Structure 1
């Protein structure tokens, strides 16, 4: 995922015909940011083996690192629960996940139960909002006919699937909102209140990649040859702040975790870092990393290779 985001930015930047306003100055001497454990003395980074007892690679999917994928299998506490990759979310002690082409499932009393097979063509962006559990229901976005999006909702106990059809290509974000799913295209974005279907246009230029939640949007300002800078702003365009220059980019799909922390990669220094919007502060999380995942209150990242893989995790709720 980390490398895919970087390639998308580079490809889009090469296609930009309108230059970003003003020259981008070459960076001066790089100054190291404080490490997370110095910025937050109570921060703890935990580790977990990335290999199961049989040697296969385990990629965690849940904040507690108990559930994950391994060789196309869904594994929980080292036990194979399902064959085939899954997208999921955790709620009220139950594991809920989508299996594209099969259905929506939940884990109940150590048994995988089918909630519904009527899932359509799910919109999957590798976000924690691909599947949202709320009010004893589960919702997800699916591709609709003729340029529309279906917001599908079903009770956790099963039953008929409700479909809200909306114009445009959308994905779920913090409930009850949807946002533009065309994250690889520059220009304005949108937020849709699913309770009223009211649509808010988020301002942006054609040389800006904008991804939003109801509270905050991130803005990658592009230039020919790459990204010029990384900003955050409110959905109405106010409170815009520059977080970093050309080397800074998103490390995960979601804009913020806990409506507070942006998980970023600083390519100019080769580090994984966190930006705290409440404190206006950037801190280094890891000096080396491979895959990076963020869900709920946790961030985890890998080091090593497939024969000796280690996952490192931090609970942002403790910061």
Structure 2
């Protein structure tokens, strides 16, 4: 998803000649412990006993992929190549082309095979558990999106059909999923199908949750800056300039933290909306993932891999 965003920015920016005025002040850059004195980064091995690399999918690092297998608590739960999309708050996951599963008594229990052509954006909202139900988005016919919902206990799958390309965000909302298209974005309340249009210019790529929107402002030759704003356009602020880009698909974690990369310094950073401050997480990193209350990133290679994680709930 990160590479997809970068390519889209480059393609759109070629046609952009000017950038409208915007927030001019970027937050001060701090060391992690200066920004949050209680911050703690923990590490865990990234290789299983058989030597294969392990890529976590859940915030507690219990579940992950390894050589095409789904591994939970060190045990291989599912064999064979698949694309796994794990919920952020429970061990519930989608296997594209197969079904929706949950962990039950140390085994994978099928909730439903009626999953459709699922939308997977490597977001924490690809699969959303809410109450006793779970929802996901699937590609519908003739340019529509289906928001599918089923009880965790199983049963019939309910469908809400939306006109256009959408993906789930914070429940019960869906958001525009056409990341290649600059201009306005849309939020939809899945329960009522009420739409909220988020205004944007043709040279702005806008991704939204019900609370905040991330705005990549383009210019000729690349990105000009990265902003945040409310869906109604208020409280707009700059995270960084042309050297700062999103590190993960989701706008914020815990409705507060944005995970970004400072390409000029090769640093992985964390921006705090509440405090308007930017701090470094790592000066060296490989894969970056963010789900629920956690951010984790890798160092090393597949033969000697280490995962580093921070619990944002402790900050």
Shorter-chain TM-score: which interval?
Answer: over 0.9
The answer to whether the aligner puts 1:253 opposite 2:249 as a matched pair is yes
SS in 2 for 1:310: strand
Runs of at least 5 residues in structure 2 that lack an aligned partner in the other structure: none
TM norm structure 2 = 0.95
Alignment of 1:19-168 (within 5 A): 19-21=18-20, 33-83=29-79, 84-91=82-89, 94-168=90-164
Cα distance in structure 1, aligned partners of 2:131 and 2:2? 32
Cα distance in structure 1, aligned partners of 2:180 and 2:41? 32
Give 1:11 deviation, angstroms.
Answer: 2.6
Alignment CA distance shift 1:97-1:284 (3 Å): same
Per the alignment, residue 193 of structure 1 pairs with 189
The two structures, once aligned, show a CA RMSD in angstroms of 2.0
Any conservation in 2 of the 1:174–1:213 contact (CA below 8 Å)? yes
Per the alignment, residue 225 of structure 1 pairs with 221
SS in 1 for 2:313: helix
Number of aligned pairs? 313
SS in 2 for 1:81: strand
Cα distance in structure 2, aligned partners of 1:196 and 1:175? 13
Give 1:18 deviation, angstroms.
Answer: 4.7
Any conservation in 1 of the 2:88–2:125 contact (CA below 8 Å)? no
Give the alignment partner of residue 206 of structure 2, picking from 201, 210, 217.
210
Any conservation in 2 of the 1:127–1:253 contact (CA below 8 Å)? yes
Cα distance in structure 2, aligned partners of 1:292 and 1:299? 7
TM norm structure 1 = 0.94
Any conservation in 2 of the 1:2–1:292 contact (CA below 8 Å)? no
SS in 1 for 2:136: strand
Cα distance in structure 2, aligned partners of 1:146 and 1:204? 26
